């Protein structure tokens, strides 16, 4: 069967066996139009980093085409195609029975697709997070006329905007060395561009995380108390709560811990600062222990442990998830068990698969990338651990990125089990890890000195 046909005249519901030539032509035209608009915008900007604006956009567009073609050719579209098909079913329902459409979109599921005889991928409809993702996809599928590639481009464009905006914020307020090579990996990380492109839950999680970090950085680190930042945070927090809620907890906990540990920065004596940080940590653990006992928060903890175990077992035992696997050697999800395997989980979440574990067509690039990251980590952080540790608590953005990298890597490395899932879930943390790698360039820039606190 030909891989490129004229149009999507017939559906393989839940999958894609070919791409539409019409879709290719329309999507390329869309890229050219947007490119012209962005080029005109870039001409009005004088900041030196805007020389990377157009190349970065083209890189993101190439990545989403590559993702769509590879995903369709190797996996029949996988979840990406299923979300798209479900979104097209939502469009069909809108034209066939608008009241049922409104009920499904804004009230709750009531079996409208079955009642109206509309074909759809039932497993997506039955899963709350999957159906929410399909409703997001519907917006872009509808305006693209049910074109898969064009809808994918809209998702990738959102990641382009979020990533560029956070990059601009870092360049303006937090990077002293304007000649830093930080942008190379922050903007052009291959695995981030590939896995966080197109119609995918990972794409939504990715641009939601970047926007949340942007708004919280503006609000807390730069002390810009504006309503639009609060509303922006609430919107993207709502998105993550409906797609991958544990990530929202990781982001918020990382900001809280950053704030707590930098309270001591106002003290001039290093010994007193270290003692205060230790005291804060001890009090925090004590408060947590009291909360677990008095308010029965252990039930909440048990719920998260059970959910983590279910996720891990699903990846481990579900025949739909295929590919090379890894094991941390943990038999049961208990606080002690998680603590014991945490170093291995964090290492897996950042640096695996190693190149010797990635000798397949879909993982080889990730293996090379992991090897480069491990080399840079030892060269720029481990071998300069003394000066790195001295600067870590003095700069909020560095401390935040270090904390979120550890928490995100731990969560991902603990539950992924399959390398193909791991490289997809951990992609967003790599941007924050780049700040850790290039920590020497992240010192207080003059523009950020709005008060006595370092950033």
The DSSP string of 332-367 is S--HHHHHHHHHHHHHHHHHPSPGGG--STTTHHHH
**Is residue 73 a part of any domain in this protein?**
yes
Q: Please indicate, yes or no, whether residues 263 and 129 belong to a single structural domain of this protein.
A: no
Residue 63's pLDDT band, with cuts at 50, 70 and 90, is very high
**Residue where one domain finishes, among candidates 243, 266, 283:** 243
Q: Please indicate, yes or no, whether residues 320 and 208 belong to a single structural domain of this protein.
A: no
Q: Please indicate, yes or no, whether residues 112 and 234 belong to a single structural domain of this protein.
A: yes
Burial 291-317 (b: 16+ CB within 10 A, else e): eeeeeeeeeeeeeebeebbebbeebee
**Is residue 426 a part of any domain in this protein?**
yes
Which pair of structure tokens corresponds to residue 33?
Answer: 């139009």
Residue 440: partners with Cβ closer than 8 Å, 6 or more residues away: 177, 380, 384
Asked if residue 20 has pLDDT above 50, the reply is: yes
**Is residue 378 a part of any domain in this protein?**
yes
**Is residue 133 a part of any domain in this protein?**
yes
**Is residue 453 a part of any domain in this protein?**
no
Q: Please indicate, yes or no, whether residues 215 and 257 belong to a single structural domain of this protein.
A: no
| Residue 225 and residue 208 in contact, taking contact as beta carbons nearer than 8 Å | no
Q: Please tell me the predicted confidence (pLDDT) of residue 160.
A: 96
| Residue 151 and residue 84 in contact, taking contact as beta carbons nearer than 8 Å | yes
Whole-angstrom distance, CA of residue 117 vs CA of residue 136: 22
Which pair of structure tokens corresponds to residue 47?
Answer: 């900041």
Whole-angstrom distance, CA of residue 280 vs CA of residue 454: 19
CB-CB neighbours of 280 under 10 Å = 15
Q: Please indicate, yes or no, whether residues 8 and 129 belong to a single structural domain of this protein.
A: yes
Q: Please indicate, yes or no, whether residues 239 and 296 belong to a single structural domain of this protein.
A: no
Residue 447 or residue 171, greater confidence = 171
Q: Please tell me the predicted confidence (pLDDT) of residue 238.
A: 94
Which pair of structure tokens corresponds to residue 341?
Answer: 């395997």
Q: Please tell me the predicted confidence (pLDDT) of residue 217.
A: 93
| Residue 248 and residue 241 in contact, taking contact as beta carbons nearer than 8 Å | yes
Q: Please indicate, yes or no, whether residues 45 and 189 belong to a single structural domain of this protein.
A: yes
Q: Please indicate, yes or no, whether residues 58 and 137 belong to a single structural domain of this protein.
A: yes
Q: Please indicate, yes or no, whether residues 216 and 152 belong to a single structural domain of this protein.
A: yes
**Is residue 170 a part of any domain in this protein?**
yes
Q: Please tell me the predicted confidence (pLDDT) of residue 311.
A: 47
Asked if residue 248 has pLDDT above 80, the reply is: yes
Q: Please indicate, yes or no, whether residues 306 and 222 belong to a single structural domain of this protein.
A: no
**Is residue 24 a part of any domain in this protein?**
yes
Q: Which residues pair with 4 in a beta bridge?
A: 19
**Residue where one domain finishes, among candidates 209, 243, 277:** 243
Q: Please tell me the predicted confidence (pLDDT) of residue 17.
A: 67
Q: Please indicate, yes or no, whether residues 218 and 292 belong to a single structural domain of this protein.
A: no
Residue 291 or residue 416, greater confidence = 416
Q: Please indicate, yes or no, whether residues 180 and 320 belong to a single structural domain of this protein.
A: no
Residue-averaged pLDDT of the chain: 80
**Is residue 455 a part of any domain in this protein?**
no
Distance, CA of 1 to chain centre: 35
Domain span at residue 315 reads 245-448
Average of pLDDT values for 4-23? 63
**How many domains does the structure of the chain reveal?**
2
**pTM of the complete model:** 0.85
Only one residue has tokens 């805007």, namely: 50
What backbone phi and psi angles, to 5 degrees, belong to 19?
-110, 150
**Residue where one domain finishes, among candidates 181, 212, 243:** 243
Whole-angstrom distance, CA of residue 159 vs CA of residue 118: 32
Whole-angstrom distance, CA of residue 144 vs CA of residue 27: 9
* Helix%, strand%, coil% for the chain, nearest 5: 75, 0, 25
């Amino acid at each position: 069967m030909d891989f490129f046909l004229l149009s999507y005249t017939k559906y393989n519901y839940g999958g894609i066996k070919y791409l539409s030539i019409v879709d290719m032509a329309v999507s390329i035209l869309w890229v050219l139009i947007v490119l012209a608009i962005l080029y005109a915008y870039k001409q009005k900007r004088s900041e030196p980093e805007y020389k990377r604006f157009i190349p970065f956009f083209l890189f993101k567009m190439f990545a989403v085409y590559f993702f769509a073609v590879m995903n369709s050719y190797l996996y029949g579209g996988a979840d990406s195609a299923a979300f798209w098909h479900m979104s097209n079913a939502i469009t069909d329902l809108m034209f066939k029975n608008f009241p049922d459409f409104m009920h499904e979109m804004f009230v709750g599921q009531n079996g409208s697709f079955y009642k109206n005889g509309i074909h759809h991928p039932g497993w997506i409809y039955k899963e709350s997070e999957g159906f929410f993702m399909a409703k997001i996809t519907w917006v872009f599928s509808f305006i693209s006329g049910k074109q898969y590639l064009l809808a994918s481009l809209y998702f990738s464009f959102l990641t382009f905007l979020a990533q560029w905006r956070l990059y601009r914020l870092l360049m303006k307020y937090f990077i002293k060395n304007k000649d830093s090579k930080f942008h190379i990996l922050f903007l052009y990380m291959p695995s981030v561009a590939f896995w966080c492109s197109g119609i995918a839950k990972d794409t939504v999680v990715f641009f939601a995380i970047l926007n949340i970090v942007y708004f919280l950085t503006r609000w807390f680190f730069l002390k810009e108390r504006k309503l639009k930042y609060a509303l922006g945070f609430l919107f993207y927090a709502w998105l993550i709560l409906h797609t991958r809620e544990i990530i929202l907890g990781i982001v918020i906990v990382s900001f809280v811990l950053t704030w707590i540990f930098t309270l001591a920065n106002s003290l001039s004596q290093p010994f007193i600062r270290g003692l205060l940080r230790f005291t804060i940590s001890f009090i925090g653990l004590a408060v947590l222990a009291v909360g677990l006992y008095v308010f029965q928060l252990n039930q909440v903890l048990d719920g998260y442990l059970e959910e983590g175990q279910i996720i891990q077992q699903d990846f481990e035992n579900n025949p739909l998830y295929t590919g090379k696997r890894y094991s941390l050697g943990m038999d049961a999800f208990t606080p002690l068990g998680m603590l014991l395997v945490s170093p291995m989980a964090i290492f897996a979440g950042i640096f695996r698969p190693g190149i010797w574990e990635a000798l397949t067509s879909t993982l080889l690039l990730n293996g090379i990338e992991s090897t480069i990251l491990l080399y840079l980590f030892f060269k720029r952080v481990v071998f300069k651990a003394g000066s790195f540790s001295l600067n870590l608590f003095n700069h909020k953005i560095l401390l935040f990125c270090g904390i979120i990298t550890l928490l995100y890597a731990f969560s991902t490395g603990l539950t992924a089990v399959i390398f193909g899932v791991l490289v997809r879930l951990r992609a967003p943390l790599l941007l924050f890890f780049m700040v850790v790698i290039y920590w020497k360039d992240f010192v207080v820039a003059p523009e950020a000195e709005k008060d006595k606190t370092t950033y």
